[in-house]
Structure 1
Amino acid sequence: MLLIGDDWAEDHHDVEVQDATGRKLAAARLPEGVDGVAKFHELVAKHGGEDLEPADVIVGIETDRGPWVQALIAAGYQIYAINPRQVARFKERYGTSGAKSDKGDAHALADMVRIDRDQLRPVAGDSEQAQAIRVVARAHQTLIWERTRTFQRLRTTLREYFPAAMNAYADLTLTAPDALELLVKAPTPAAAAKLTRPQITAVLARHRRHNRSAKAATIQAALRERHLGLSEPVTAAYAATATAHARVLIALNEQIAELEGQVKAHFLAHPDAEIYLSMPGIAEITGARVLAEFGDDPTRYASAKARKNYAGTSPVTRASGKSHTVQARFVRNNRLADALQTQAFSTLRASPGARRYYDKQRAREAGYNPALRQLGNRLVGILHGCLKTRTLYDEATAWSHHAQPHAA
């Protein structure tokens, strides 16, 4: 058996090779790319011998993505993706100075897969379809998060020089294409006050707004209200900033819509899509995000509890002496947690059983978020059962243990 720690950077990998006893056999810096992978295989061949099976090569690395990781998986090696925080805590065994080096990290990674391998999670053998869904679903969500950040910047800018615009476009929402087009067309209070009703109506018509005449009149009146102003040079500077943010939002809206189509197409082509869509509160985008983060390796989660632990929906127990507390997990996959929170909220209307379960938690004086998190935890368990048995969600079966007493 060979244990290998791989500390990766943008253009190189520092690796350390150990045997089963922890004896250091080799250390090297390998270039990124085909040449680096070839040299990695040479190290394995040199120190493993002819009888070494690929599955006996154990690699610890701080990522689970990229061509390098996929190349090692394709070679048949066992790959463990280790959180950098875990590596930092593990290194405290060697000393508390906080010193860091690439070689030291490679040594720690090799030690971790040798000593604590049973406590680590191997990289899942997800299908190519699941990997493709993960790429587009994460990109789509990242652009949405970026749109939110850009919107906050735009809103802050408008509050400082043109608060009337926020009132004028409140019914449209500032991230809507027509509101952004009007803002770019007239980014200063003076220019906005000169917008005519036909000009505003034409923009609303291009974006298929209903009740255009009434909306145009409301917008025009709001833009022409008296308000405190700034000097012309300062206003012009703010207007240029707001225009830049608005144009970025327009581009983000276009790309989000484009990626949304890609997310749906990849997700619907996956064989598990039907099971995910049978779950209450899940549509194409939410289903794609949940599948992307859980993956589709059937051996990855040994039980529903293992899936819940990975999802971060199950609580953490802290017990020391006479102290015993149960707390929510805060170190978790935030993308998955966000998707499951969205699903749990949606099920309150889509599933009578889910609603009863949620109300039961609230009756026990659980707060809104804790009750929703417990509902999400239950939904993860139901999803695990459906995937394991390859059956669609059934309302009566899913909530049979939580039915009302008189329904028994």
Structure 2
Amino acid sequence: MDYYIFEIQQFCHRIRSLNKVIKAYDEKIEQAYRSNEDYEMFQSFPGAGPSIGPRLMAFFGGDRDKFKSVNEVLKISEIAPVTIQSGKMNIVRRRFLCDRFTQLSFVEFANNSIRSSIWAHEFYYHKKALNIPHFTILRALAYKWIRIMYRCWKTRTPYNEKTYLEVLEKRQPAWFQKFVN
């Protein structure tokens, strides 16, 4: 019986040591994130927060010539769907063989944005009313957010919800009609 107590104590000691290392890394990441010139821009995205903001910033990086177009960003982020065509058959599906961490970072951000962004909230609940599965909606929302992020990143402009709502009022997408009226 003493053997198990000793083993449990060893595991607890390892966990405490790892927690100290993780805390040190978190502090370094936070410091690098806050000192980056793009901090204000990535912090402006509703729902980015202290854990997802640095992940988004790391994905985009500081080199504005890294991505030639938003479509390239969508493919590299693994959010863009895959289209399979053969004759009359046309299938559009999500990517399965991909960098799950990057894909999940954008999906997590999209999920957080539902609580912080008016239009993201309306988009999500409009699609939910159409019985579209939760993660399918989040990937579609992430797709929209990446397009917005790319534009902000390229122009070094922080995101402004009011500006985007004005754009949506002009475009009047179907899911936004109910929100405006």
TM range (shorter): 0.7 to 0.9
Cα distance in 1 between the residues matched to 2:127 and 2:92:
15
* Structure 2 match to 1:355: 121
Higher relative helix content? 2
SS where residue 404 of structure 1 aligns?
A: helix
Selected match of 1:374 from 140, 143, 148: 140
Matched ranges for 1:190-269 at <5 A: 232=1, 236-269=2-35
The question of whether the paired residues in 2 share the 8 Å contact of 1:293 and 1:335 is answered with no
Q: Which of the residues 54, 57, 70 maps onto 1:291?
A: 57
Could you list the structure 1 runs, at least 4 aligned residues long, displaced by more than 6 angstroms after superposition.
none
Structure 2 counterpart of 1:391, one-letter code: T
Matched, 1:344 2:110: yes
Task: Give the C-alpha shift of residue 283 in structure 1.
Answer: 1.7
Instruction: Look up the match of 1:404.
Output: 177
Q: Find the aligned partners of 1:261 and 1:338 in 2 and give their Cα distance.
A: 22
State whether structure 2 residue 72 is matched by structure 1 residue 306.
yes
Alpha-carbon shift at residue 405 of structure 1 (Å) = 4.5
In 2: Cα distance, 1:343 partner to 1:310 partner: 17
**Inter-partner Cα distance in structure 2 for 1:281 and 1:322:** 41
Structure 2 vs 1, CA of residues 357 and 245 (structure 1 numbering), >3 Å: closer, same or farther? same
- Relative contact order (C-alpha < 8 Å, sep 6+): which is higher? 2
* In structure 1, distance between residues paired with 2:179 and 2:40: 33
Q: Hey, which of these two has a bigger chunk of strand by percent?
A: 1
- Give the equivalent residue in structure 2 for 1:317: 83
Of 135, 160, 167, the residue aligned with 1:394 is 160
Which consecutive unaligned segments of at least 5 residues does structure 1 have? 1-231
Q: Which amino acid aligns with 1:334?
A: R
- Alignment length (residue pairs): 174
Amino acid at match of 1:266: A
TM-score with structure 1 setting the length: 0.40
Q: Check conservation: 1:308, 1:380, Cα contact below 8 A.
A: yes
Aligned residue number for residue 365 of structure 1: 131
Instruction: Give 2:39's aligned amino acid.
Output: A
Same amino acid, percent of matched pairs: 25
CA distance in 2, matches of 1:404, 1:238: 63
Tell me how far apart the structure 1 counterparts of residues 9 and 73 of structure 2 sit (CA, whole Å): 46
Contact 2:122–2:179 under 8 Å retained in 1: no
Q: Which residue of 2 aligns with 1:77?
A: none
Cα RMSD of the aligned pairs, angstroms, is 1.9
Cα distance in structure 2, aligned partners of 1:398 and 1:237 = 62
* Matches of 1:270 and 1:394, distance apart in 2: 20
Quick one: structure 1 residues 267 and 406, their matched pair in 2 at CA, closer, same or farther if it must change by over 3 Å? closer
Superposed displacement of residue 318, structure 1 = 0.9
Query: What is the DSSP-based 3-state SS (H/G/I as helix, E as strand, rest coil) of the residue aligned with 2:91?
Result: strand
Partner AA of 2:10 in structure 1: A
Q: Which moved more, 1:371-380 or 1:325-334?
A: 325-334
Q: Deviations over 1:216-256 (max 9, x none)?
A: xxxxxxxxxxxxxxxx3xxx333333322222211121111
SS in 2 for 1:388: helix
Equivalences for 1:136-151 in 2 at 5 Å? none
- Of 331-340 and 259-268, more deviation after overlay is shown by 331-340
Q: Secondary structure at the match of 1:288?
A: helix
